Amino acid sequence: MKRMLKYAGIISLLFIGMAASFQPENKYFEILKNIEIFTNLYKEINTYYVDEVDPGHLMRTGIDAMMGSLDPFTNYISESEIEGYRFMTEGKYNGIGAISQKMGDFVTITELYKDQAADKAGLRPGDQIIAVDGQDATGKDPDAINNILRGFPGTSVELTIRRPGRAGDFNIQLVRGEVQVPNVPYHGMLGEDIGYVALTTFTREAGSNVANAVRELKEQNPGLKGVIFDLRGNGGGLLNEAVNVCNVFIPRGELVVTTKGKVKDWDRSFSTMNQPVDLDIPLTVLINKNSASASEIVSGVIQDYDRGVLIGQRSYGKGLVQNTRDIGYNSKLKLTTAKYYIPSGRCIQSVKYEEGEPIHIPDDQRTPFKTRNGRTVLDGGGVKPDMMIDKFTDAAIVRGLLEQHLIFDYVTQFCLKHDSISPVEAFRFEDYADFVQFLENRQFDYDTESEKLLKKLVEESTEEGYELDAQINALEAKIDADKKDALMDNKAVIIDLIEKEIASRYYYQEGKIKMGLRNDAEIEEAVKLLREKNEYQALLNG
Protein backbone atom coordinates (compact mmCIF):
# COMPACT_ATOMS: atom_id res chain seq x y z
CA MET A 1 0.00 0.00 0.00
CA LYS A 2 2.83 2.42 0.92
CA ARG A 3 4.61 1.60 -2.33
CA MET A 4 1.43 2.39 -4.32
CA LEU A 5 1.04 5.73 -2.54
CA LYS A 6 4.73 6.47 -3.19
CA TYR A 7 4.35 5.78 -6.92
CA ALA A 8 1.11 7.79 -7.05
CA GLY A 9 2.89 10.72 -5.42
CA ILE A 10 5.80 10.56 -7.88
CA ILE A 11 3.40 10.44 -10.84
CA SER A 12 1.44 13.41 -9.45
CA LEU A 13 4.64 15.42 -8.99
CA LEU A 14 5.77 14.60 -12.52
CA PHE A 15 2.35 15.59 -13.87
CA ILE A 16 2.32 18.86 -11.95
CA GLY A 17 5.93 19.49 -12.92
CA MET A 18 5.14 18.96 -16.58
CA ALA A 19 2.17 21.33 -16.30
CA ALA A 20 4.36 23.91 -14.57
CA SER A 21 6.84 23.78 -17.45
CA PHE A 22 4.15 25.14 -19.76
CA GLN A 23 3.72 28.85 -20.29
CA PRO A 24 1.93 30.53 -17.31
CA GLU A 25 -1.03 31.38 -19.51
CA ASN A 26 -1.60 27.71 -20.34
CA LYS A 27 -5.07 26.98 -18.99
CA TYR A 28 -4.24 23.37 -18.08
CA PHE A 29 -1.60 24.57 -15.67
CA GLU A 30 -4.15 27.01 -14.23
CA ILE A 31 -6.68 24.19 -13.82
CA LEU A 32 -4.19 21.93 -11.99
CA LYS A 33 -2.98 24.77 -9.79
CA ASN A 34 -6.46 25.83 -8.74
CA ILE A 35 -7.66 22.27 -8.14
CA GLU A 36 -4.70 21.79 -5.78
CA ILE A 37 -5.48 25.08 -4.00
CA PHE A 38 -9.14 24.08 -3.67
CA THR A 39 -8.22 20.65 -2.27
CA ASN A 40 -5.84 22.15 0.28
CA LEU A 41 -8.38 24.77 1.30
CA TYR A 42 -11.07 22.13 1.79
CA LYS A 43 -8.68 19.97 3.85
CA GLU A 44 -7.67 22.87 6.14
CA ILE A 45 -11.30 23.89 6.78
CA ASN A 46 -12.34 20.30 7.48
CA THR A 47 -9.42 19.78 9.88
CA TYR A 48 -9.14 23.04 11.78
CA TYR A 49 -12.42 25.00 11.53
CA VAL A 50 -13.83 25.71 15.00
CA ASP A 51 -17.16 23.88 14.44
CA GLU A 52 -17.99 20.58 12.80
CA VAL A 53 -18.45 20.93 9.04
CA ASP A 54 -20.91 18.96 6.91
CA PRO A 55 -18.74 17.97 3.90
CA GLY A 56 -21.72 17.59 1.57
CA HIS A 57 -23.22 20.97 2.50
CA LEU A 58 -19.85 22.75 2.25
CA MET A 59 -19.10 21.25 -1.15
CA ARG A 60 -22.61 22.02 -2.44
CA THR A 61 -22.16 25.65 -1.39
CA GLY A 62 -18.96 25.82 -3.42
CA ILE A 63 -20.55 24.11 -6.41
CA ASP A 64 -23.56 26.43 -6.35
CA ALA A 65 -21.29 29.48 -6.20
CA MET A 66 -19.31 28.16 -9.17
CA MET A 67 -22.53 27.57 -11.15
CA GLY A 68 -23.80 31.01 -10.12
CA SER A 69 -20.87 32.67 -11.89
CA LEU A 70 -22.05 31.19 -15.21
CA ASP A 71 -25.37 31.58 -16.99
CA PRO A 72 -28.60 30.81 -15.07
CA PHE A 73 -29.14 27.54 -16.94
CA THR A 74 -25.90 25.70 -16.08
CA ASN A 75 -26.75 23.64 -12.99
CA TYR A 76 -25.51 20.80 -10.83
CA ILE A 77 -28.10 18.05 -10.38
CA SER A 78 -27.47 15.96 -7.28
CA GLU A 79 -28.66 12.39 -6.79
CA SER A 80 -31.63 13.59 -4.72
CA GLU A 81 -32.72 15.91 -7.56
CA ILE A 82 -32.65 13.31 -10.34
CA GLU A 83 -36.43 12.72 -10.21
CA GLY A 84 -37.04 16.43 -10.82
CA TYR A 85 -34.68 16.31 -13.79
CA ARG A 86 -36.46 13.21 -15.11
CA PHE A 87 -39.79 15.04 -14.88
CA MET A 88 -38.42 17.94 -16.93
CA THR A 89 -37.27 15.64 -19.74
CA GLU A 90 -39.74 12.75 -19.70
CA GLY A 91 -42.88 14.29 -18.18
CA LYS A 92 -42.95 11.62 -15.50
CA TYR A 93 -41.36 10.93 -12.14
CA ASN A 94 -41.73 8.62 -9.17
CA GLY A 95 -43.75 10.25 -6.40
CA ILE A 96 -47.26 11.02 -5.13
CA GLY A 97 -48.60 13.29 -7.89
CA ALA A 98 -49.07 16.61 -6.11
CA ILE A 99 -47.79 20.18 -6.50
CA SER A 100 -46.93 22.08 -3.35
CA GLN A 101 -45.79 25.50 -2.22
CA LYS A 102 -44.62 26.94 1.07
CA MET A 103 -47.28 29.10 2.71
CA GLY A 104 -46.41 30.39 6.14
CA ASP A 105 -44.57 27.78 8.18
CA PHE A 106 -45.66 24.74 6.20
CA VAL A 107 -45.53 23.29 2.71
CA THR A 108 -49.09 23.29 1.37
CA ILE A 109 -50.67 21.14 -1.33
CA THR A 110 -51.73 23.49 -4.16
CA GLU A 111 -52.70 21.14 -6.99
CA LEU A 112 -53.32 17.43 -7.58
CA TYR A 113 -52.83 15.29 -10.66
CA LYS A 114 -55.99 13.35 -11.34
CA ASP A 115 -56.01 9.66 -10.30
CA GLN A 116 -52.46 9.76 -8.93
CA ALA A 117 -51.46 8.57 -5.45
CA ALA A 118 -52.19 11.85 -3.63
CA ASP A 119 -55.59 12.20 -5.31
CA LYS A 120 -56.57 8.59 -4.60
CA ALA A 121 -55.46 8.88 -0.96
CA GLY A 122 -57.77 11.87 -0.42
CA LEU A 123 -55.33 14.76 -0.20
CA ARG A 124 -56.78 18.16 -1.09
CA PRO A 125 -55.41 21.54 -2.13
CA GLY A 126 -55.02 23.56 1.05
CA ASP A 127 -53.74 20.61 3.10
CA GLN A 128 -50.65 21.53 5.12
CA ILE A 129 -47.88 18.95 5.53
CA ILE A 130 -47.06 18.98 9.25
CA ALA A 131 -44.74 15.95 9.29
CA VAL A 132 -43.30 13.36 6.90
CA ASP A 133 -42.82 9.84 8.31
CA GLY A 134 -43.03 11.35 11.79
CA GLN A 135 -40.36 14.00 11.13
CA ASP A 136 -41.41 17.59 11.81
CA ALA A 137 -41.86 19.56 8.57
CA THR A 138 -42.13 23.03 10.14
CA GLY A 139 -40.22 25.60 8.11
CA LYS A 140 -39.08 23.05 5.52
CA ASP A 141 -38.53 24.11 1.92
CA PRO A 142 -40.83 22.53 -0.73
CA ASP A 143 -37.81 21.09 -2.54
CA ALA A 144 -36.70 19.30 0.64
CA ILE A 145 -40.19 17.85 1.14
CA ASN A 146 -40.49 16.84 -2.52
CA ASN A 147 -37.15 15.05 -2.41
CA ILE A 148 -38.58 12.87 0.37
CA LEU A 149 -41.93 12.32 -1.34
CA ARG A 150 -40.23 11.13 -4.52
CA GLY A 151 -38.98 7.56 -4.44
CA PHE A 152 -39.34 4.08 -5.85
CA PRO A 153 -42.85 3.03 -6.98
CA GLY A 154 -44.53 0.79 -4.46
CA THR A 155 -42.81 2.30 -1.43
CA SER A 156 -44.93 4.17 1.09
CA VAL A 157 -44.73 7.46 2.93
CA GLU A 158 -46.87 8.74 5.82
CA LEU A 159 -47.90 12.39 5.96
CA THR A 160 -49.33 14.22 8.94
CA ILE A 161 -51.89 16.66 7.54
CA ARG A 162 -53.58 19.78 8.91
CA ARG A 163 -56.71 20.53 6.92
CA PRO A 164 -58.75 23.76 7.04
CA GLY A 165 -62.22 23.07 8.44
CA ARG A 166 -61.19 19.86 10.21
CA ALA A 167 -60.35 19.64 13.89
CA GLY A 168 -57.03 18.01 14.71
CA ASP A 169 -54.19 16.76 12.57
CA PHE A 170 -54.44 13.33 10.95
CA ASN A 171 -52.20 10.88 9.10
CA ILE A 172 -52.44 9.70 5.49
CA GLN A 173 -50.51 6.74 4.11
CA LEU A 174 -49.53 7.09 0.45
CA VAL A 175 -47.94 4.58 -1.91
CA ARG A 176 -45.56 6.18 -4.39
CA GLY A 177 -46.11 5.50 -8.06
CA GLU A 178 -44.91 6.65 -11.46
CA VAL A 179 -46.58 9.99 -12.10
CA GLN A 180 -47.17 10.82 -15.75
CA VAL A 181 -48.11 14.41 -16.51
CA PRO A 182 -49.59 15.04 -19.99
CA ASN A 183 -47.74 17.69 -22.00
CA VAL A 184 -50.96 18.41 -23.93
CA PRO A 185 -53.40 18.66 -21.01
CA TYR A 186 -56.27 20.00 -23.13
CA HIS A 187 -57.38 20.49 -26.71
CA GLY A 188 -60.83 21.33 -27.96
CA MET A 189 -63.03 23.77 -29.83
CA LEU A 190 -63.74 27.42 -29.03
CA GLY A 191 -67.14 27.91 -30.56
CA GLU A 192 -67.88 26.02 -33.75
CA ASP A 193 -64.91 27.00 -35.90
CA ILE A 194 -61.71 27.65 -33.88
CA GLY A 195 -59.56 24.89 -32.41
CA TYR A 196 -57.34 25.21 -29.36
CA VAL A 197 -54.28 23.19 -28.29
CA ALA A 198 -52.27 23.79 -25.09
CA LEU A 199 -48.69 22.50 -24.76
CA THR A 200 -47.23 22.94 -21.27
CA THR A 201 -43.76 21.38 -21.70
CA PHE A 202 -41.55 19.85 -24.39
CA THR A 203 -41.19 16.41 -22.83
CA ARG A 204 -41.08 13.14 -24.76
CA GLU A 205 -43.77 12.71 -27.45
CA ALA A 206 -44.71 16.41 -27.36
CA GLY A 207 -44.58 16.52 -31.16
CA SER A 208 -46.76 13.45 -31.69
CA ASN A 209 -49.24 14.61 -29.03
CA VAL A 210 -49.63 18.04 -30.66
CA ALA A 211 -49.95 16.36 -34.07
CA ASN A 212 -52.66 14.01 -32.78
CA ALA A 213 -54.54 16.91 -31.19
CA VAL A 214 -54.52 18.99 -34.40
CA ARG A 215 -55.42 15.94 -36.50
CA GLU A 216 -58.38 15.18 -34.22
CA LEU A 217 -59.63 18.76 -34.38
CA LYS A 218 -59.55 18.64 -38.18
CA GLU A 219 -61.25 15.25 -38.45
CA GLN A 220 -64.06 16.05 -36.01
CA ASN A 221 -64.67 19.62 -37.19
CA PRO A 222 -64.90 19.98 -40.99
CA GLY A 223 -65.64 23.71 -40.61
CA LEU A 224 -62.42 24.42 -38.74
CA LYS A 225 -61.23 27.95 -39.62
CA GLY A 226 -58.11 28.20 -37.50
CA VAL A 227 -56.06 26.85 -34.59
CA ILE A 228 -54.80 28.61 -31.46
CA PHE A 229 -51.58 27.03 -30.18
CA ASP A 230 -50.91 28.03 -26.57
CA LEU A 231 -47.27 28.15 -25.41
CA ARG A 232 -47.78 30.61 -22.55
CA GLY A 233 -45.81 29.63 -19.46
CA ASN A 234 -44.08 26.81 -21.35
CA GLY A 235 -40.47 26.84 -20.16
CA GLY A 236 -39.17 24.50 -22.86
CA GLY A 237 -37.64 21.04 -22.76
CA LEU A 238 -36.23 18.71 -25.38
CA LEU A 239 -34.78 20.25 -28.53
CA ASN A 240 -35.80 17.34 -30.78
CA GLU A 241 -39.41 17.74 -29.62
CA ALA A 242 -39.30 21.42 -30.59
CA VAL A 243 -38.37 20.26 -34.10
CA ASN A 244 -41.21 17.71 -34.07
CA VAL A 245 -43.75 20.31 -32.93
CA CYS A 246 -42.68 22.70 -35.72
CA ASN A 247 -43.10 19.81 -38.16
CA VAL A 248 -46.84 19.72 -37.36
CA PHE A 249 -47.24 23.01 -39.24
CA ILE A 250 -44.27 23.29 -41.64
CA PRO A 251 -43.11 20.96 -44.46
CA ARG A 252 -40.63 18.14 -44.29
CA GLY A 253 -37.02 19.17 -44.94
CA GLU A 254 -37.29 22.74 -43.60
CA LEU A 255 -34.52 24.05 -41.35
CA VAL A 256 -35.72 24.60 -37.78
CA VAL A 257 -32.65 25.45 -35.72
CA THR A 258 -28.85 25.51 -35.90
CA THR A 259 -26.67 25.15 -32.80
CA LYS A 260 -23.20 26.68 -32.57
CA GLY A 261 -20.79 26.36 -29.64
CA LYS A 262 -17.14 26.10 -28.62
CA VAL A 263 -16.78 22.46 -29.71
CA LYS A 264 -17.22 22.82 -33.48
CA ASP A 265 -17.77 19.08 -33.93
CA TRP A 266 -20.95 19.45 -31.92
CA ASP A 267 -22.45 22.16 -34.17
CA ARG A 268 -25.58 20.81 -35.79
CA SER A 269 -28.54 21.79 -37.92
CA PHE A 270 -31.99 20.31 -37.26
CA SER A 271 -34.61 20.07 -39.98
CA THR A 272 -38.11 18.61 -40.06
CA MET A 273 -38.19 14.94 -41.05
CA ASN A 274 -41.88 13.99 -41.23
CA GLN A 275 -44.94 14.86 -43.25
CA PRO A 276 -46.81 17.81 -41.65
CA VAL A 277 -50.34 17.61 -40.31
CA ASP A 278 -51.43 20.88 -41.93
CA LEU A 279 -49.66 23.56 -43.95
CA ASP A 280 -52.54 25.90 -44.67
CA ILE A 281 -54.93 26.29 -41.75
CA PRO A 282 -54.61 29.76 -40.15
CA LEU A 283 -52.55 29.57 -36.97
CA THR A 284 -52.01 31.83 -33.98
CA VAL A 285 -49.38 31.10 -31.34
CA LEU A 286 -49.76 32.54 -27.82
CA ILE A 287 -46.57 33.38 -25.90
CA ASN A 288 -45.67 35.39 -22.81
CA LYS A 289 -42.62 36.30 -20.72
CA ASN A 290 -42.48 32.75 -19.32
CA SER A 291 -42.35 31.09 -22.75
CA ALA A 292 -38.72 30.01 -23.04
CA SER A 293 -36.20 27.87 -24.88
CA ALA A 294 -38.04 25.25 -26.99
CA SER A 295 -41.16 27.47 -26.89
CA GLU A 296 -39.11 30.26 -28.43
CA ILE A 297 -37.72 27.95 -31.11
CA VAL A 298 -41.25 26.94 -32.14
CA SER A 299 -42.76 30.43 -32.00
CA GLY A 300 -39.70 31.93 -33.71
CA VAL A 301 -39.78 29.33 -36.50
CA ILE A 302 -43.52 29.90 -37.08
CA GLN A 303 -42.75 33.63 -37.32
CA ASP A 304 -39.67 33.24 -39.53
CA TYR A 305 -41.59 31.13 -42.06
CA ASP A 306 -44.68 33.40 -41.80
CA ARG A 307 -46.70 30.29 -40.98
CA GLY A 308 -48.75 31.94 -38.25
CA VAL A 309 -49.28 35.06 -36.15
CA LEU A 310 -47.72 35.40 -32.68
CA ILE A 311 -49.90 37.04 -29.99
CA GLY A 312 -49.10 38.06 -26.39
CA GLN A 313 -45.96 39.41 -24.74
CA ARG A 314 -42.27 39.15 -25.58
CA SER A 315 -40.87 35.73 -24.64
CA TYR A 316 -38.18 35.07 -22.03
CA GLY A 317 -35.06 35.14 -24.21
CA LYS A 318 -33.29 31.81 -23.69
CA GLY A 319 -31.37 30.97 -26.83
CA LEU A 320 -29.00 28.51 -25.18
CA VAL A 321 -28.63 24.76 -25.58
CA GLN A 322 -27.94 22.58 -22.53
CA ASN A 323 -26.49 19.08 -22.45
CA THR A 324 -26.13 16.84 -19.41
CA ARG A 325 -22.93 15.08 -18.41
CA ASP A 326 -22.69 12.26 -15.87
CA ILE A 327 -20.23 13.21 -13.12
CA GLY A 328 -20.50 10.18 -10.84
CA TYR A 329 -22.63 8.98 -7.93
CA ASN A 330 -25.84 9.32 -9.95
CA SER A 331 -25.39 13.09 -10.26
CA LYS A 332 -25.26 15.20 -13.42
CA LEU A 333 -24.01 18.53 -14.70
CA LYS A 334 -26.42 20.37 -16.96
CA LEU A 335 -24.28 22.88 -18.83
CA THR A 336 -24.69 25.30 -21.68
CA THR A 337 -22.81 24.03 -24.73
CA ALA A 338 -24.15 26.16 -27.59
CA LYS A 339 -26.44 28.93 -28.77
CA TYR A 340 -29.26 28.20 -31.17
CA TYR A 341 -30.16 30.15 -34.30
CA ILE A 342 -33.56 29.94 -35.98
CA PRO A 343 -34.15 30.06 -39.78
CA SER A 344 -33.90 33.84 -40.23
CA GLY A 345 -30.39 33.62 -38.71
CA ARG A 346 -31.27 35.37 -35.46
CA CYS A 347 -30.39 34.23 -31.95
CA ILE A 348 -32.98 35.19 -29.33
CA GLN A 349 -30.68 34.87 -26.33
CA SER A 350 -30.78 37.75 -23.84
CA VAL A 351 -27.36 39.34 -23.47
CA LYS A 352 -27.55 40.06 -19.74
CA TYR A 353 -29.36 38.71 -16.69
CA GLU A 354 -30.11 40.26 -13.34
CA GLU A 355 -30.99 37.84 -10.51
CA GLY A 356 -31.73 35.17 -13.09
CA GLU A 357 -34.13 37.36 -15.09
CA PRO A 358 -33.27 38.75 -18.54
CA ILE A 359 -32.70 42.49 -18.82
CA HIS A 360 -34.84 44.27 -21.41
CA ILE A 361 -32.99 45.31 -24.58
CA PRO A 362 -34.45 48.27 -26.54
CA ASP A 363 -35.46 47.42 -30.11
CA ASP A 364 -32.97 49.92 -31.56
CA GLN A 365 -30.13 47.88 -30.03
CA ARG A 366 -31.23 44.62 -31.67
CA THR A 367 -30.00 43.33 -35.02
CA PRO A 368 -32.71 43.11 -37.72
CA PHE A 369 -33.35 39.96 -39.75
CA LYS A 370 -35.97 39.05 -42.36
CA THR A 371 -38.74 36.46 -42.41
CA ARG A 372 -39.51 34.48 -45.56
CA ASN A 373 -42.08 37.13 -46.62
CA GLY A 374 -39.60 39.95 -45.93
CA ARG A 375 -40.96 41.10 -42.58
CA THR A 376 -38.38 42.56 -40.18
CA VAL A 377 -37.73 40.58 -36.97
CA LEU A 378 -35.13 41.29 -34.28
CA ASP A 379 -32.60 39.17 -32.42
CA GLY A 380 -31.69 39.19 -28.72
CA GLY A 381 -33.97 39.19 -25.70
CA GLY A 382 -36.75 36.90 -26.81
CA VAL A 383 -39.33 36.67 -29.58
CA LYS A 384 -41.54 39.71 -30.04
CA PRO A 385 -45.17 38.88 -30.94
CA ASP A 386 -46.74 40.24 -34.11
CA MET A 387 -49.64 41.41 -31.95
CA MET A 388 -48.62 42.71 -28.51
CA ILE A 389 -51.15 42.53 -25.67
CA ASP A 390 -50.57 43.90 -22.16
CA LYS A 391 -50.87 41.32 -19.39
CA PHE A 392 -53.59 42.14 -16.84
CA THR A 393 -51.83 40.67 -13.78
CA ASP A 394 -49.49 43.66 -13.58
CA ALA A 395 -52.03 45.48 -11.39
CA ALA A 396 -50.59 45.95 -7.88
CA ILE A 397 -53.70 44.65 -6.15
CA VAL A 398 -53.67 41.44 -8.24
CA ARG A 399 -50.00 40.87 -7.44
CA GLY A 400 -50.76 41.43 -3.76
CA LEU A 401 -53.61 38.89 -3.74
CA LEU A 402 -51.46 36.27 -5.48
CA GLU A 403 -48.33 36.86 -3.40
CA GLN A 404 -50.31 36.58 -0.17
CA HIS A 405 -52.20 33.47 -1.43
CA LEU A 406 -55.53 35.07 -0.58
CA ILE A 407 -57.38 33.81 -3.67
CA PHE A 408 -56.06 30.32 -2.90
CA ASP A 409 -57.17 30.58 0.75
CA TYR A 410 -60.60 31.91 -0.18
CA VAL A 411 -61.22 29.07 -2.62
CA THR A 412 -60.18 26.58 0.06
CA GLN A 413 -62.97 28.01 2.26
CA PHE A 414 -65.35 27.98 -0.72
CA CYS A 415 -64.73 24.26 -1.27
CA LEU A 416 -65.58 23.49 2.35
CA LYS A 417 -69.08 24.84 1.69
CA HIS A 418 -69.62 23.25 -1.76
CA ASP A 419 -69.28 19.53 -2.40
CA SER A 420 -69.59 20.10 -6.16
CA ILE A 421 -70.10 22.81 -8.77
CA SER A 422 -71.71 23.00 -12.20
CA PRO A 423 -69.71 21.92 -15.26
CA VAL A 424 -67.02 24.42 -16.20
CA GLU A 425 -69.02 25.76 -19.16
CA ALA A 426 -71.93 26.72 -16.88
CA PHE A 427 -70.24 27.76 -13.64
CA ARG A 428 -70.12 31.43 -12.66
CA PHE A 429 -68.71 32.90 -9.45
CA GLU A 430 -71.28 35.50 -8.41
CA ASP A 431 -70.55 36.25 -4.73
CA TYR A 432 -67.85 38.88 -5.08
CA ALA A 433 -69.15 40.67 -1.98
CA ASP A 434 -68.30 37.56 0.04
CA PHE A 435 -64.74 37.65 -1.29
CA VAL A 436 -64.42 41.35 -0.38
CA GLN A 437 -65.65 40.54 3.14
CA PHE A 438 -63.09 37.72 3.35
CA LEU A 439 -60.33 40.21 2.52
CA GLU A 440 -61.57 42.61 5.18
CA ASN A 441 -61.56 39.82 7.76
CA ARG A 442 -57.99 38.97 6.78
CA GLN A 443 -57.03 42.68 6.93
CA PHE A 444 -55.67 42.55 3.41
CA ASP A 445 -53.23 45.28 2.44
CA TYR A 446 -50.56 45.64 -0.21
CA ASP A 447 -47.91 48.13 -1.24
CA THR A 448 -48.29 50.10 -4.45
CA GLU A 449 -45.32 51.64 -6.26
CA SER A 450 -46.67 55.04 -5.22
CA GLU A 451 -46.53 54.04 -1.54
CA LYS A 452 -42.94 52.85 -1.91
CA LEU A 453 -41.97 56.18 -3.46
CA LEU A 454 -43.89 58.07 -0.79
CA LYS A 455 -42.06 56.25 2.00
CA LYS A 456 -38.77 57.19 0.38
CA LEU A 457 -39.92 60.82 0.14
CA VAL A 458 -40.82 60.84 3.84
CA GLU A 459 -37.38 59.50 4.79
CA GLU A 460 -35.44 61.93 2.62
CA SER A 461 -37.56 64.99 3.48
CA THR A 462 -37.13 64.23 7.19
CA GLU A 463 -33.36 63.94 6.78
CA GLU A 464 -33.21 67.23 4.88
CA GLY A 465 -35.50 69.07 7.31
CA TYR A 466 -38.49 69.74 5.05
CA GLU A 467 -41.96 70.02 6.63
CA LEU A 468 -44.23 68.11 4.25
CA ASP A 469 -46.70 66.57 6.70
CA ALA A 470 -49.82 68.13 5.14
CA GLN A 471 -48.87 67.19 1.59
CA ILE A 472 -47.85 63.65 2.60
CA ASN A 473 -51.10 63.12 4.54
CA ALA A 474 -53.10 64.23 1.49
CA LEU A 475 -51.17 61.84 -0.76
CA GLU A 476 -51.65 58.95 1.71
CA ALA A 477 -55.39 59.61 1.82
CA LYS A 478 -55.56 59.62 -1.99
CA ILE A 479 -53.62 56.36 -2.24
CA ASP A 480 -55.86 54.70 0.40
CA ALA A 481 -58.97 55.75 -1.53
CA ASP A 482 -57.54 54.46 -4.81
CA LYS A 483 -56.62 51.14 -3.16
CA LYS A 484 -60.21 50.67 -2.01
CA ASP A 485 -61.46 51.40 -5.51
CA ALA A 486 -58.95 48.94 -6.95
CA LEU A 487 -61.00 45.97 -5.74
CA MET A 488 -63.89 47.08 -7.92
CA ASP A 489 -61.76 48.40 -10.80
CA ASN A 490 -60.12 44.95 -11.12
CA LYS A 491 -63.25 42.92 -10.34
CA ALA A 492 -63.37 41.09 -13.67
CA VAL A 493 -59.70 40.07 -13.47
CA ILE A 494 -60.01 38.88 -9.87
CA ILE A 495 -63.19 36.90 -10.58
CA ASP A 496 -61.39 35.20 -13.47
CA LEU A 497 -58.59 34.11 -11.12
CA ILE A 498 -61.11 32.89 -8.53
CA GLU A 499 -63.03 30.90 -11.14
CA LYS A 500 -59.86 29.24 -12.47
CA GLU A 501 -58.79 28.25 -8.96
CA ILE A 502 -62.25 26.84 -8.21
CA ALA A 503 -62.29 24.88 -11.48
CA SER A 504 -58.88 23.35 -10.70
CA ARG A 505 -60.20 22.02 -7.36
CA TYR A 506 -63.13 20.14 -8.93
CA TYR A 507 -61.91 19.40 -12.49
CA TYR A 508 -58.11 19.41 -12.10
CA GLN A 509 -55.75 20.92 -14.68
CA GLU A 510 -58.11 20.45 -17.61
CA GLY A 511 -60.85 22.35 -15.77
CA LYS A 512 -58.52 25.22 -14.96
CA ILE A 513 -57.51 25.56 -18.61
CA LYS A 514 -61.08 25.40 -19.88
CA MET A 515 -62.20 27.99 -17.33
CA GLY A 516 -59.32 30.29 -18.25
CA LEU A 517 -60.26 30.24 -21.93
CA ARG A 518 -63.59 31.87 -21.19
CA ASN A 519 -62.30 35.27 -20.00
CA ASP A 520 -58.94 35.39 -21.76
CA ALA A 521 -58.18 38.63 -23.65
CA GLU A 522 -55.47 36.98 -25.74
CA ILE A 523 -57.81 34.13 -26.71
CA GLU A 524 -60.46 36.67 -27.72
CA GLU A 525 -57.95 38.50 -29.95
CA ALA A 526 -56.75 35.23 -31.46
CA VAL A 527 -60.29 34.06 -32.25
CA LYS A 528 -61.17 37.43 -33.75
CA LEU A 529 -58.02 37.45 -35.91
CA LEU A 530 -58.54 33.90 -37.19
CA ARG A 531 -62.04 34.83 -38.32
CA GLU A 532 -60.75 37.93 -40.16
CA LYS A 533 -58.80 36.38 -43.05
CA ASN A 534 -57.76 39.69 -44.60
CA GLU A 535 -56.35 41.10 -41.36
CA TYR A 536 -54.61 37.79 -40.61
CA GLN A 537 -52.96 37.71 -44.03
CA ALA A 538 -52.00 41.37 -43.85
CA LEU A 539 -50.02 40.73 -40.67
CA LEU A 540 -48.14 37.87 -42.31
CA ASN A 541 -47.40 39.95 -45.39
CA GLY A 542 -45.98 42.78 -43.32
Q: Which residues are catalytic?
A: 293, 304, 318
* Region for 338 from its dihedrals, namely left if φ exceeds 0, alpha if ψ lies in -120 to 50, beta otherwise: beta
Q: Is there a contact between 53 and 44 (Cβ–Cβ < 8 Å)?
A: no
> For 229-248, what is the HEC assignment?
EECCCCCCECHHHHHHHHCC
Q: Contact at 8 Å (CB) between 180 and 201?
A: no
Q: How far apart are CA 71 and CA 408, in angstroms?
A: 34
- Show the beta-strand stretches assigned E in 371-513: 376-378, 387-388
Comparing C-alpha atoms, which of 403, 414, 404 is closest to residue 437? 414
Ranges of H-type helices in 91-234: 117-121, 142-149, 206-220
Compute φ and ψ for 233, nearest 5 degrees: 75, 0
Are the C-beta atoms of residues 176 and 93 closer than 8 Å to each other? no
Contacts of 457 (CB under 8 A, 6+ apart): 468, 472
Task: Collapse the DSSP code of 252 into the 3-class scheme (helix H, G, I; strand E, B; otherwise coil) and give the result.
Answer: coil
Give the total residue count for the chain: 542
Pairing of strands 368-370, 376-378: antiparallel
Kind and range of the H or E run holding 194 = strand 194-198
Residue 117 to residue 107: CA distance in whole angstroms: 18
Rg of the chain, C-alpha, whole Å: 27
Specify whether the CB–CB gap between 227 and 283 falls below 8 A: yes
| Angle between helix 55-68 and 27-48 (nearest 10) | 150
For residue 40, CA distances in Å to 17, 28, 138 come to 18, 18, 38
Cβ neighbour number for residue 108 with a 10 Å cutoff = 22
CA distance 418 to 243: 45
CA–CA gap between residue 530 and residue 510 (Å, rounded): 24
Whether the CB-CB separation of 347 and 377 falls below 8 Å is answered with no
Please tell me whether residue 139 adopts helix, strand or coil conformation: coil
C-alpha torsion sign, points 262, 264, 270, 273: negative
180, β-bridge pairs: 92
